[in-house]
């Protein structure tokens, strides 16, 4: 692992307050790997051998069932994923694959559990992290159940526009098929939803999207801080 990457990992909330000796124990057991796009890192149902730290690139968490596949979440750096499975020594509930070239730190689950048992600051950080993940899941569930497809897409575009500078443009970081799965719809429904949003100032050119009537789009979307605010 490059020395300049260590502070990026150390500054994550999960690791920030733990003892230096505990952090060193995690890093000595860990190894950093590079992966090209579309490499499957883990498969749901298999044992959780590692905790993953996304250092560079992006990863799609997805699941399969009854001949269907859906996207659960997109992980961007710097962030951990699959913490609960690693901590509980249980099977992965999701699969993961790289979206683009990625550098990922892999920490053996048994080392994570050992440090969890011995470092109180790390244990508290794990509780905070899992509590935050629980709230994220509840928000995603509310988004799916309380909004129709058009409203979900509208709120997604408004959120991304804010994250990308608030200048009325959105650059999609994933392809539209993955976006459709992430928002809980088919690619055909996503296409129709974009068509429905045209009168609200949504102009689509490939992955580049312009929002020319932000006020109108916001009135349609009715964003809620209890769903859309990542700090809530």
73: domain CATH number is 2.60.120.10
Q: What is the pLDDT of residue 5?
A: 77
Contact 162, 221 (CB under 8 A): no
The contacts of residue 67 (CB under 8 Å, 6+ apart) are none
Same domain, 98 and 133: yes
Tokens coding 55? 């250092």
pLDDT-based confidence at residue 126 (cuts at 50, 70, 90): very high
Banded model confidence at residue 25, pLDDT cuts 50, 70, 90? very high
Question: What per-residue confidence (pLDDT) applies to 2?
Answer: 67
Mean pLDDT of 3-12: 85
Report the alpha-carbon distance of residue 42 to residue 61 in Å, rounded: 9
Q: What is the mean pLDDT of residues 142-170?
A: 96
* Predicted structure pTM score: 0.89
How high is the pLDDT of residue 161?
97
- Where residue 35 falls (left for φ over 0; alpha for ψ -120 to 50; beta otherwise) is beta
Residues 6+ apart with CB under 8 A from 110: none
Quickly count helices (H) and strands (E) in the chain. Answer: 11, 11
pLDDT average, residue stretch 19-26: 96
At residue 147, the pLDDT reads 98
Q: Using 50, 70 and 90 to split pLDDT, how confident is the model at 152?
A: very high
For the chain, what percent of residues have pLDDT higher than 90? Answer: 96
Q: What is the pLDDT of residue 189?
A: 97
Q: How confident is the model at residue 9 (pLDDT cuts 50, 70, 90)?
A: very high
103 shares its domain with 78: yes
CATH of residue 177: 1.10.10.10
Do 194 and 216 share a domain, yes or no? yes
Question: Structurally, how many domains does the chain consist of?
Answer: 2
Same-domain pairing of 119 and 16: yes
Residue 1: per-residue pLDDT: 63
> Are 165 and 133 members of one domain?
no
Q: 168: domain range?
A: 148-228
Choose the final residue of a domain: 114, 145, 176. Answer: 145
């Amino acid at each position: 692992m490059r020395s300049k990457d260590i502070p990026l990992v150390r500054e994550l909330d999960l690791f920030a307050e733990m003892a230096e000796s505990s952090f060193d124990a995690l890093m000595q057991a860990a190894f950093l790997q590079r992966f090209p796009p579309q490499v499957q890192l883990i498969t749901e149902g298999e044992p959780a051998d590692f905790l993953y730290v996304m250092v560079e690139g992006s990863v799609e968490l997805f699941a399969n069932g009854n001949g269907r596949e859906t996207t659960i979440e997109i992980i961007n750096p710097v962030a951990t994923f699959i913490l609960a499975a690693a901590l509980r020594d249980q099977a992965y509930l999701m699969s993961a694959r790289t979206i683009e070239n990625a550098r990922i730190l892999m920490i053996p689950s048994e080392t994570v559990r050992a440090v969890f048992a011995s470092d109180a600051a790390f244990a508290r950080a794990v509780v905070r992290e899992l509590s935050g993940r629980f709230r994220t899941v509840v928000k995603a569930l509310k988004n799916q159940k309380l909004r129709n497809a058009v409203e979900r897409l509208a709120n997604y575009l408004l959120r991304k526009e804010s994250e990308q500078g608030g200048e009325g443009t959105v650059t999609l970081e994933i392809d539209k098929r993955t976006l459709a799965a992430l928002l809980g719809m088919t690619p055909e429904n996503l296409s129709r939803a974009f068509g429905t949003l045209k009168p609200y100032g949504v102009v689509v050119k490939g992955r580049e999207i312009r929002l020319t009537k932000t006020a109108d789009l916001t009135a349609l979307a009715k964003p809620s801080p209890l769903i859309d605010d990542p700090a809530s």
